[in-house]
Amino acid sequence: MRILVTGGAGFIGSALVRRLIRHSDHEVLVFDKLTYAGVLSSLDPVSSSDRYRFIQADICDADAVARAFRDFAPEVVAHLAAESHVDRSIDGPGAFVQTNVVGTFVMLSQALAYWRGLDEAARSAFRFHHISTDEVFGSLGEDGFFTETTPYDPRSPYSASKAGSDHLVRAWGHTYGLPVLVTNCSNNYGPFHFPEKLIPLIIIRALNGEPLPVYGDGSNVRDWLFVDDHARALQAVFETGKPGETYNVGGNAERKNIEVVTAICSILDRLRPKAEGRYADQITYVTDRPGHDHRYAIDAAKIRADLGWTPSVTFEQGIEQTVAWYLENQSWWRDILDARYSTQRLGVAHG
């Protein structure tokens, strides 16, 4: 199949593209604006494949999107392009509304126009897959899980913009018959993760001998999924999922933030011991994130039962691999630190 991957130079998009080139016969067109979060070198491992193509363009640019549909004639759209960092959405929500809401509208409008021009067999085979987040469901207390029928309750500018885009995607399915799929996934981690996010930020700052900022008291809980397992879930959904359906994707690996940070510190103590002391000595509790959601947890029973997908690695295996990758691939993240973002605090609202 021909798969149009928006946001393919990002963390999850690049993992999906590497997987599709290495483990399928699909052709891939990456459509990516290359914002601060787009890192083309994440695609170096597969960019010499003749089944891989790249276009630098904005999903809000209807003409560029229309051209990509016309020239590439995709059978699947895997729509991952988004502003993805909650802290940045606190500092500058406008970009989130623009890319996540307006950009998704443009993608849907152009997909619909293209889809209507296909013959009947191609129309029924076509899929528009929107990659979304569990944050649309809001925040849980100590118990319970998000299912596909949990009511939406987004609470940050980021999650509100993703909720808006999810609603638009479903509306295009219900109203116009576009064959859409939505997946809502928990926190991903793994190689090529941009240093603004908790896990890479902690690894990098630990290695640089800097304080390790834990928001609030560190008791917030996230469910962590290794990014390659997410990529495998996405492929299963657009290849075999039922149009109109939503699938929750999760790692069954709930951890308090402080547990994640101390796990990273212990792995580093073993793999790269400090001359004196331990990495955990660098942990510093800092002002909480405004509106910080307490807990996310996913019930992934549906994708397991319907599509046979389960995570392949535990959090302990995945975090070990991730720390090792950051140790072995320092040029990837040092280039980012030099040119784009040097792990400073973001998202402290000023009222």
79 contacts ligand TDX (rule: CB under 6 A) = no
162 contacts ligand NAD (rule: CB under 6 A) = yes
214 binds, among ligand TDX, ligand NAD, none (CB under 5 to 8 A by kind): ligand TDX
Would you give the binding string for ligand TDX spanning residues 33-72, x where CB under 6 A is met? Answer: ----------------------------------------
222 contacts ligand TDX (rule: CB under 6 A) = yes
Backbone angles phi, psi at 128, to 5 degrees: -110, 110
Q: 20, 21, 29, 37: which one contacts ligand NAD (CB under 6 A)?
A: 37
Residue numbers 97-126 binding ligand NAD by CB under 6 A: 99, 103
198 contacts ligand TDX (rule: CB under 6 A) = yes
Residues 152, 132: Cα–Cα separation, whole Å: 13
Q: 89, 104, 187, 282: which one contacts ligand TDX (CB under 6 A)?
A: 187
- The answer to whether residue 50 is catalytic is no
88 neighbors 341 (Cβ within 8 angstroms): no
- The answer to whether residue 135 is catalytic is yes
135 contacts ligand TDX (rule: CB under 6 A) = yes
203 contacts ligand TDX (rule: CB under 6 A) = no
3-state secondary structure 278-330: CHHHHEEEECCCCCCCCECCECCHHHHHHHCCCCCCCHHHHHHHHHHHHHHCH
Catalytic residue among 135, 223, 229, 293: 135
Element (H, E) at 13: helix 11-23
Plot region of 216 (φ>0 → left; ψ -120 to 50 → alpha; else → beta): left
Dihedral of the CA atoms 152, 115, 231, 229 (nearest 10)? 60
- Choose the stretch contacting ligand NAD; rule: CB under 6 A; options: 29-37, 43-51, 111-119, 289-297: 29-37
Q: 79, 197, 230, 255: which one contacts ligand TDX (CB under 6 A)?
A: 197
- Positive/negative CA dihedral, 192, 198, 203, 208: positive
What 3-state class would DSSP assign to 76?
A: strand
257 contacts ligand TDX (rule: CB under 6 A) = yes
1 vs 64 by CB, closer to ligand NAD: 64
Residues 228, 233: Cα–Cα separation, whole Å: 9
- The answer to whether residue 158 is catalytic is yes
From the CA atom positions of the chain, what is the Rg in Å? 20
Alpha-carbon separation of residue 313 from 145, 147, 176, 185, 216 (angstroms)? 21, 22, 39, 16, 29
186 neighbors 134 (Cβ within 8 angstroms): yes
Residues 224, 131: Cα–Cα separation, whole Å: 16
Residues 74, 64: Cα–Cα separation, whole Å: 14
Catalytic residue among 52, 83, 114, 158: 158
Paired tokens of 6:
């928006």
194 contacts ligand NAD (rule: CB under 6 A) = yes
In terms of Cα–Cα distance, which of 40, 37, 122 is closest to 83?
37
Q: 3, 4, 5, 9: which one contacts ligand NAD (CB under 6 A)?
A: 9
Residue numbers 271-310 binding ligand TDX by CB under 6 A: 289
Would you give the binding string for ligand TDX spanning residues 315-334, x where CB under 6 A is met? Answer: --------------------
C-beta of 89: minimal distance to ligand TDX in Å?
9
Catalytic residue among 87, 134, 196, 254: 134
What residues line the site for ligand NAD (CB under 6 A)? 6-7, 9-13, 32-35, 37-38, 58-60, 80-84, 99, 103, 131-133, 162, 185, 187-188, 194
What residues line the site for ligand TDX (CB under 6 A)? 84-87, 133, 135, 187, 197-198, 201, 213-215, 220, 222, 257, 289
Task: Give the residue numbers marked as catalytic.
Answer: 134-135, 158
